[in-house]
Amino acid sequence: MCLLMSLLVVASAGLRAAPKVEDSIAQRVQACTGCHGREGRAASDGYYPRIAGKPAGYLYHQLLNFREGRRHYVPMVRLIAPLSPAYLQEMAAHFAALDVPYPAPQPSTASAETLRHGEALALRGDSARRIPACVQCHGPALTGLAPAIPGLLGLPRDYLNAQLGAWKAGNRRAHAPDCMAQIAQALTPADVGALSQWLASQALPAQTKAVDALAAPLPMPCGSVTPTPP
Amino acid sequence: MKRTLWVALGAVPAIALLLGAVTLALNLRDEDPLTETPAPAPAPAGQVARGEYLARAGNCMGCHTARGGEPYAGGRGIATPFGTVYSSNLTPDESTGIGGWSQAHFWRALHNGRSRDGRLLYPAFPYTSYTLVTRQDADAIHAYLRSLKPVAQPNRPHDLRFPFNTQAALGVWRALYFSPGRPVNVATRSDEWNRGAYLVQGLGHCNACHGHRNVLGATGGTLDLSGGLIPMQNWYAPSLSDPHEAGMTNWPPQQIADLLKDGVSAQASVLGPMAEVVASSTQHLSDADLHAMGVYLSTLPLAPNGEEPRGDPAVFERGTKLYADHCAGCHGEQGEGVAGMYPALAGNRAVSLASPANLVRVVLEGGFAPSTAGNPRPYGMPPFATVLNQADIAAVLTYVRGAWGNQGSAVPEVEVNRYR
C-alpha cells in the first residue's frame, strides 16, 4: 500500500512536469502570434494581418509607426512600449524570415464590375486621376519589394479596407513623404472597396516572397523606402 | 435681532476675504524673490551631464515628449479624472519653450509649482514631489534642458472641466494639499538611505502612482507608498510597504536595485506602466543610486494587512479548463512558471492583490517586461482580448487567485468589466 501510494505520488509529480519552453525568438514573440496567428499566419477570416514573410524593413517601420504615433491601434502601442529598437528589429527579421503557406484567398462578395474596377486600379492605376497602379511599387505579382514595401495578397478584406480608410482619413501615416497617404487621398470610397475586394480574393503566386528590384523606378518619392529612417 | 443679522451679513465678505488671503498666503509659502538674471553663460559640461542624468531619474521625457514628437518639446496628453493636461515644451526655444526662463524661474516651477509668468501649475506635473529636489540639482537640470536643440512648438492648452480649469480652484487645491518641502535628512540613517529617500520621494516621484489618491487627486504626501489605482489607466500600482502587495520591506536592497535596472529580479518582474518607467528611467541610473533606492525601500514600515477570502470553488472547473488550455503552456500546470522566462503564478503576490485590475489588464492586453541591458529580449504575454470573453476571464482569474495555495478573492464578471 505504501509502495502504491509513493508510486502514485511519483506519477502525479511526473504529470506536473515544468512547461517545455525553449530559449528562442519564436518563444519570445508568442505575444505577437496570439493575434497574428501561429507562425505569423493569420486566419483568413480574422481581422489581424499576416506578418510572416513580409519584408523586415516594412515590419520594423510599422513597429516604429505604432510607437511614434503614426499608427494608432492601442493594444499594439501598449504591447511594444517598453521594448528597445534592437529587439523590435530582431522581431521584424524573425517574422520576415518565416516561410509558411498562405491560407486560401477570401471569396469575393462583390459584383464582377466592382472586381474589374479593383483589378484595373491594382494593375494599371488611373493616370487621369494620378493614381499609380499597386504593381508599380508593390511588385509585379503584388508580393512586395524588399526591404520596405509589403506584399498586398493574403490579407483580410476588412484589414485592407480599414488601412486604406485610415490612410485616407489621416489616421495611418508613414515616414514623410507619405506616398500612400497621397494615393489614398485620391481614392474614392468605391475605389477602396473595389481594391479590397479584388486584392483579398487573389491567390498567391508560387513565389510569395518580396522581389528585390523593380523594372522601373518608383512613381513617386516614399519616405519609408529612402532614406531609411532611424 | 436685526442688528445680529447685519453683523452676520457683514461677516460673510469678511470671512471670504480672510479665506482668500489665507489661500493666497498658503500659495506663496517658501518662495524666494525672483532675481531676473540674464541667461546664464554656457553651463560647464559636467553640470549639463549631471542634469541629463537627473532628468532621466525624474523621467521628465516620459511626459514631456509626445509619441513621435521631438524629445522634450511637450504636447503629450495626460488623462486625468478632471480632463486632459498637456505637457509643456521644455526645449530652450525663446517663445514657445523655456528659453526665457532663468534658473530662478525653473527652481520656482519645481519647488513651488509656479510657471514663469506666475501662473499656478497643475500637479499632473509632480511638483508635489519635485519640491524636495535641491537647488543644485534643479540648476543642473535647467542647464541640461538649455543645452538641447530649441524646438518651436507652442504649448497646447489644457482641456479641463470647470471648475478645475480655474486658477482659483487650483489655488484652493494647493492650499489644501501642497506645501513646499526640503529633502529629508534623517541623522539616524546612513547617507545611502538618505540618498535613496531623496530619489524615491523627490525626482523619482514614485508616489505619483504608488500613493493612494483621494477624490481630488491628492496623494497622502511623498511618504505615502500605500498603493493606488492609477487614474484613467486602470492599472493598480501596488503598495510598496504591504508584504501582500509589492512591499519590499526587508528585501535585500540589491534585489530591489536589480528590479529597477533589469526589469526582472530573483523575486519579481515589472509589467505595464512600471515597465515603461524601467525602460525610460530607472535602467539608466547608476548602480550606487539604485542600491540607495533599494536601501530606502527595504526599510519602509510594514503595513498592516488583512487576509483575503479564498475564491469561490464553484467556478474553478471552468477556470481550471481555461487555464489548462491557455495558460499552463507557459505558466505551468501548477502555476510554477519557468525561471527567467515566465513568472510563477503560485505564491505570486501580484496575482492575489485585493484589486484584480492588473490581472484583468494583463490578460486583455498582454505585455512585455522592458528591454534592459540585463534583459534585452524579454518574453511576452499574449493579449487574450480577442480569445476570452468576460465570463472566461472572470473564471480563469478566480481559478488562478484561488489555486495552489493562493489566497486571492474571486473575481466577479462585473470587476472584469470595470477594468477593461
What string of H, E and C letters represents the secondary structure of B223-287?
CCCCCEECCCCCCEECCCCCCCCCCCCCCCHHHHHHHHHHCECCCCECCCHHHHHHHHCHHHCCH
Question: Rounded CA gap, A78 and A71, in Å?
Answer: 12
Please, what is the end-to-end C-alpha distance for chain A in angstroms? 69
Residues B127 and B111: beta-carbon distance below 8 Å: yes
Residues B133 and B115: beta-carbon distance below 8 Å: no
> Do B142 and B38 reside in the same domain of the chain?
yes
Final residue of a structural domain among B113, B148, B177 = B177
Structure-block grid coordinates of residue B75:
504636447
For helices B167-177 and B2-27, what crossing angle results, to 10°? Answer: 80
What does the pLDDT look like over B320-347, one tens digit per residue?
Answer: 999 999 999 999 999 999 988 899 999 8
Question: Rounded CA gap, B137 and B304, in Å?
Answer: 36
A25-34, B32-41, B78-87, B252-261, range with the lowest pLDDT: B32-41
How many of the other CB atoms lie within 10 Å of CB of B62? 16
> Do B279 and B236 reside in the same domain of the chain?
yes
Q: Which residue of B has its CA nearest to A31?
A: B382
What's residue B311's pLDDT? 55
If you average pLDDT over residues B90-100, what whole number do you get? 96
What's residue A3's pLDDT? 41
Answer whether residue B395 is part of any domain. yes
Q: What values do phi and psi take at B76, rounded to 5?
A: -80, 135
A86 interfacial to chain B (CB closer than 8 Å): yes
Fill in the amino acid letter for B120: L
> Do B171 and B226 reside in the same domain of the chain?
no
What are chain A's domains?
33-200 (1.10.760.10)
A42-46, B125-129, B131-135, B286-290, range with the lowest pLDDT: A42-46
Question: Rounded CA gap, B180 and A60, in Å?
Answer: 46
Residues B393 and B419: beta-carbon distance below 8 Å: no
Confidence of residue B137 (pLDDT cuts 50, 70, 90): very high
> Do B39 and B122 reside in the same domain of the chain?
yes
Give alpha helix (H) positions in B148-250: 167-177, 191-201, 207-210
DSSP secondary-structure letter at B403? G
> Do B76 and B203 reside in the same domain of the chain?
no
Answer whether residue B140 is part of any domain. yes
What does the pLDDT look like over A82-116, one tens digit per residue?
Answer: 999 999 999 999 999 998 888 888 899 999 999 99
What does the pLDDT look like over B158-168, one tens digit per residue?
Answer: 999 999 999 99
Candidates B368, B372, B381, B386, partner chain A, best to mutate (most A CBs within 10 A): B368
Answer whether residue B319 is part of any domain. yes
Cα B183–chain centre separation: 19
What's residue B406's pLDDT? 87
What's residue B244's pLDDT? 84
Answer whether residue B227 is part of any domain. yes
ipTM of the shown complex: 0.82
Answer whether residue B307 is part of any domain. no
Confidence of residue A12 (pLDDT cuts 50, 70, 90): very low
B376 → closest Cβ in A67, A69, A84: A84
Fill in the amino acid letter for A189: P
What's residue B36's pLDDT? 61
DSSP string for B110-149: HHH-B-TTSPBPPTTS-HHHHTTS-HHHHHHHHHHHHTSP
| Strand order across the beta sheet in which B159-160 lies | B77-80, B83-86, B159-160
Distance of residue A49 Cα from the nearest chain B Cα, in angstroms: 14
B66 → closest Cβ in A69, A75, A84: A69
The per-residue pLDDT of chain B, averaged, comes to: 90
Between B21 and A228, the more confident residue is: B21
Question: Rounded CA gap, A214 and A132, in Å?
Answer: 14
Best CA proximity match to B359, nearest among B296, B419, B289: B419
Final residue of a structural domain among B177, B211, B242 = B177
> Do B161 and B210 reside in the same domain of the chain?
no
Answer whether residue B13 is part of any domain. no
The residue with cell 510594514 is B302
How many of the other CB atoms lie within 10 Å of CB of B217? 16
If you average pLDDT over residues B218-233, what whole number do you get? 84
B236 interfacial to chain A (CB closer than 8 Å): no
Residues A187 and A100: beta-carbon distance below 8 Å: no
Candidates B63, B277, B338, B345, partner chain A, best to mutate (most A CBs within 10 A): B338
If you average pLDDT over residues B282-305, what whole number do you get? 90
What's residue A181's pLDDT? 95
Backbone CA torsion sign across A183, A189, A193, A198: negative
What's residue B242's pLDDT? 86
What's residue A8's pLDDT? 39
> Do B28 and B171 reside in the same domain of the chain?
yes
pTM confidence score: 0.84
Yes or no, beta carbons of B68 and A35 under 8 Å apart: no
Answer whether residue B304 is part of any domain. no
Question: Rounded CA gap, B411 and B418, in Å?
Answer: 11
- Is B191 exposed, middle or buried, given 0-12, 13-18 or 19+ CB atoms closer than 10 A? exposed
Question: Rounded CA gap, B359 and B354, in Å?
Answer: 11
Number of H helices, E strands in chain A: 11, 0
What's residue B331's pLDDT? 94
> Do B74 and B215 reside in the same domain of the chain?
no
What's residue A10's pLDDT? 37
Residues B329 and A12: beta-carbon distance below 8 Å: no
Confidence of residue B15 (pLDDT cuts 50, 70, 90): confident
Structure-block grid coordinates of residue B380:
511576452
Q: Which range marks the domain in which residue B55 is found?
A: 20-177
Question: Rounded CA gap, A180 and A70, in Å?
Answer: 13
What's residue A41's pLDDT? 58
A160 interfacial to chain B (CB closer than 8 Å): no
What's residue B250's pLDDT? 85
Question: Rounded CA gap, B325 and B321, in Å?
Answer: 6
Yes or no, beta carbons of A83 and B332 under 8 Å apart: no
Domains identified in chain B, total number? 3
Identify the CATH number of the domain in which residue B320 sits: 1.10.760.10
List Cβ neighbours of B332 (8 Å cut-off, separation of 6 or more): A16, A18, A19, B338, B342, B344, B345
3-state secondary structure of B159: strand
Structure-block grid coordinates of residue B136:
543644485
What does the pLDDT look like over A174-228, one tens digit per residue?
Answer: 999 999 999 999 999 999 999 999 999 999 999 999 999 999 999 999 998 875 4
Which of B16-20, B166-170, B409-413 ranks highest by mean pLDDT?
A: B166-170
What does the pLDDT look like over B383-400, one tens digit per residue?
Answer: 998 889 999 999 999 999
- Judged against a pLDDT cut of 80, whether residue B57 lies above it is answered with yes
Instruction: List the beta bridge partners of residue B264.
Output: B269
> Do B156 and B228 reside in the same domain of the chain?
no
- CA distances (Å), B226 to each of A90, B119, B209, in order? 39, 31, 10
Best CA proximity match to B137, nearest among B92, B73, B223, B204: B204
> Do B208 and B254 reside in the same domain of the chain?
yes
> Do B28 and B155 reside in the same domain of the chain?
yes
What's residue B38's pLDDT? 55
Instruction: List the beta bridge partners of residue B229.
Output: B236
Cα B403–chain centre separation: 31
Yes or no, beta carbons of B332 and A35 under 8 Å apart: no
If you average pLDDT over residues B135-163, what whole number do you get? 96
Yes or no, beta carbons of A30 and B382 under 8 Å apart: yes
What's residue A136's pLDDT? 97
Yes or no, beta carbons of A30 and B330 under 8 Å apart: yes
Final residue of a structural domain among B177, B199, B224 = B177
What does the pLDDT look like over A44-75, one tens digit per residue?
Answer: 557 889 999 999 999 999 999 999 999 999 88
Question: Rounded CA gap, A15 and A228, in Å?
Answer: 51
Between B41 and B11, the more confident residue is: B11
A194-203, B45-54, B66-75, B205-214, range with the lowest pLDDT: B205-214
What does the pLDDT look like over B237-251, one tens digit per residue?
Answer: 999 888 888 888 888
If you average pLDDT over residues B114-139, what whole number do you get? 96
Q: What values do phi and psi take at B41, rounded to 5?
A: -60, 160
Confidence of residue A6 (pLDDT cuts 50, 70, 90): very low
> Do B115 and B247 reside in the same domain of the chain?
no
Between A39 and B203, the more confident residue is: B203
For helices A112-124 and A189-200, what crossing angle results, to 10°? Answer: 90
A195-199, B7-11, B306-310, range with the lowest pLDDT: B306-310
Backbone CA torsion sign across B198, B202, B204, B210: positive
B368 → closest Cβ in A17, A23, A83: A83
Confidence of residue B37 (pLDDT cuts 50, 70, 90): low
Question: Cis peptide before A217, with omega less than 30 degrees from 0?
Answer: no
Answer whether residue B143 is part of any domain. yes
What's residue A89's pLDDT? 97
Identify the CATH number of the domain in which residue B217 sits: 1.10.760
